[in-house]
Chains A and B, each alone.
Chain A
Amino acid sequence: MSAILQAHGLSDADVERIRQDFPILNERPHGHKLVFLDSAASSQKPIQVIDAMDDYYRRYHANIHRGVYHISELATEAYEEARASVARFIGTPCAAECIFVRNATEGLNLVAYSWGRTNIKAGDAILVTEMEHHSNLVPWQVLAQQTGATLRFVKVTEDGRLDLRDLDALLDGAKLFAFTAVSNTLGTINPVKELAARARAAGAISVVDACQAVPRMPVDVVDWGADFIAFSAHKMLGPTGIGILWGRKELLDAMPPFLTGGGMIGIVEMTHSTYADVPARFEAGTPAIAEAVGLAAAVRYLEAVGMDRIHQYEMYLAEYALKRLAEVPAVTVYGPSLEHRTGVISMTVGDIHAHDLASILDSEGVCVRAGHHCNQPLMEKLGVPATARASFYLYNTKAEVDALISAIEKAKRIFKIA
């Protein structure tokens, strides 16, 4: 723990410089400084990303691939360069393994529909965990219903970690293991490398929901050794409307298309068609070109700061926040201890409903998420109807943690909680 404290990752001056890049941080909701503690839902965007998209629309917008004129070539290049940036960012030497989708949810559905319906049969097992976001649960429920496969669950322990004691038994007979790298509700960091290796040893493919991991820690897909990972650009400084599905080339090559139409074909005849190679096979229709350009700018930004430092800094803020929250009577924090978690902190305060808490925090300019965080079964298990969740990113500061604490104190005063 002290090691974390020593390594702040980013200095106050670094963070001050970073904050200058985020125009939204100058907003003053209800006359207060904007204290944005909801980056786990969607991060804010630096001017570099906003400008890159603006520049694209002003100077070289055109549809990609089929245009032979100059600006279409520029757009095509920028789109493919974005793919290459993402590939570099997550450590794959093969850019074609990165498929652009709308968001992580679509990426997970792509796997469920394309790989799932080809490979999952009645009687097979699909293993997921109790801490999955609905986006990494419902597609597998539907797949199980439609194929006659059964769903199994890795349980979550009292302290919010995966209970891996019966993992081998759960994996026995399983064809697919879908799990999150980082819980969006509890902040738990899961041992992806170990889970992927054990899935492989049991003959199952692994599908990693990397939505909360890719934005906040170095990710190397070769090191992870999983088969598919999905994440969204909007949580990593990029725009909404684009996400990434990374998959092993040999798996992608063998998969049928998910959506069909223009852009994903080889030869089209009236009654049948052949399909393009990966990745185009999985990118039917005009893609999100401006968003790809914005995503590339986001990746450059994160690389320039350094994912190691971003992760260290977030842990530093998380440690500080957990310490401050522990000092406030009536605050309950959910999730594991610091060494197993990241800067995503779910809490309740006395009998204040999370929605009321979030409203009062908002009146102080403090933005947190309130509700079930697309994690209803887990919340049932925790026995709370809803929590308020604060999450930190590279532009947050200790002073903002302090602002969170005093807004919580205000909520307690209003609700007359000692």
Chain B
Amino acid sequence: MTDPTFTGMDELYRDFILDHYRNPRNSGTLENPDASFEDINPLCGDKIRMDLKLKDGVVTDVKFKGRGCAISQASASLLTEQIKGKTLEEINKIGKEDVLENVGINISAARLKCALLGLKVLKSALALKYLDEPS
């Protein structure tokens, strides 16, 4: 994009983000999921639910359902693509930096919560399943 007024925002809302926002991957719910969690970002009402199927410590299927801003929905969609076929150990290592890398930019503090909501839901779902307390 050549319009100089786009500085910053065009980097944030790149084509693949808009694509994941409008065509979320792994969208929907799973029947009898092995792990599931839903959470909201009360600030803006963003909502994400994630369902997971696991076999021998490996994520065999994942679906998510949500509503909210492009950042929260796209980053959740990207995350679901990233974790399919991954072991719990590998998923445990996914952190904030990885999500930001997925999204591809450094976002402002006000929007960080949006970007990280999917990861939070994922970790909570797995923690509920495998630990006593959600992390």
Contacts and interface: CB of A to CB of B under 8 A. Distances in A.
B9 A355 contact: no
A261 interface: no
A385 B67 CA distance: 8
B67 to A, nearest CB: 5
A30 B46 CA distance: 26
A354 interface: yes
B16 to A, nearest CB: 13
A371 B8 contact: no
A359 B111 contact: yes
Interface in A308-366: 351-356, 359-360, 363-364
Contacts of A379: 45
Contacts of B67: 385
Interface string B8-43: 111011000010001000000000000000000001
A415 interface: yes
A30, A359, A371, A416: residue with the most chain B Cβ atoms closer than 10 Å = A359
Contact of A356 (B8, B13, B22, B43): B13
A350 to B, nearest CB: 11
A111 interface: no
A415 B68 contact: no
Contacts of A359: 9, 12, 108, 110-111
Contacts, number: 56
B44 A414 contact: no
Interface residues of A, number: 23
Contacts of B135: none
A346 B41 CA distance: 21
B45 A372 contact: yes
Nearest to A409: B5
A385 B68 contact: yes
B71 A356 contact: yes
A370 B69 CA distance: 11
Interface residues of B, number: 24
Nearest to B5: A410
A272 interface: no
A363 B70 contact: no
A355 B68 contact: yes
B89 interface: no
Contact of A363 (B9, B44, B68): B9
A30, A356, A364: residue with the most chain B Cβ atoms closer than 10 Å = A356
A354 B68 CA distance: 9
A352 B5 CA distance: 19
A413 interface: yes
B9 A353 contact: no
B97 interface: no
A371 B68 contact: no
Contacts of A353: 44, 68-70
A370 to B, nearest CB: 7
A414 B13 contact: yes
A346 to B, nearest CB: 14
A386 interface: yes
Nearest to A360: B9
B112 to A, nearest CB: 12
A152 B85 CA distance: 52
Contact of A385 (B7, B9, B13, B45): B45
Contacts of B69: 353-356
A356 B70 contact: yes
Nearest to A372: B45
Contact of B18 (A354, A360, A370, A415): A415
B44 A354 contact: yes
A30 to B, nearest CB: 8
A298 to B, nearest CB: 28
Contacts of A385: 45, 67-68
Contact of B44 (A352, A364, A371): A371
B3 interface: yes
A411 to B, nearest CB: 8
A366 to B, nearest CB: 12
Contacts of A30: 8
Contacts of A376: 45
Interface string A365-387: 00000111000100100000110
Interface in A21-39: 30
Contact of A351 (B22, B71, B111): B22
15 contacts: A351-B22, A353-B44, A353-B68, A353-B70, A359-B9, A359-B12, A363-B8, A370-B44, A371-B43, A379-B45, A385-B67, A414-B6, A414-B10, A415-B13, A415-B70
Interface of B: 3, 5-10, 12-13, 18, 22, 43-46, 67-71, 108, 110-111, 114
- What are the nearest 4 A-B pairs in CB distance? A355-B69, A353-B69, A355-B44, A363-B9
Given A359-B12, A359-B110, 14 more contacts: A353-B68, A354-B69, A355-B46, A356-B13, A356-B69, A356-B70, A359-B111, A371-B43, A371-B45, A372-B45, A376-B45, A410-B9, A414-B10, A415-B70
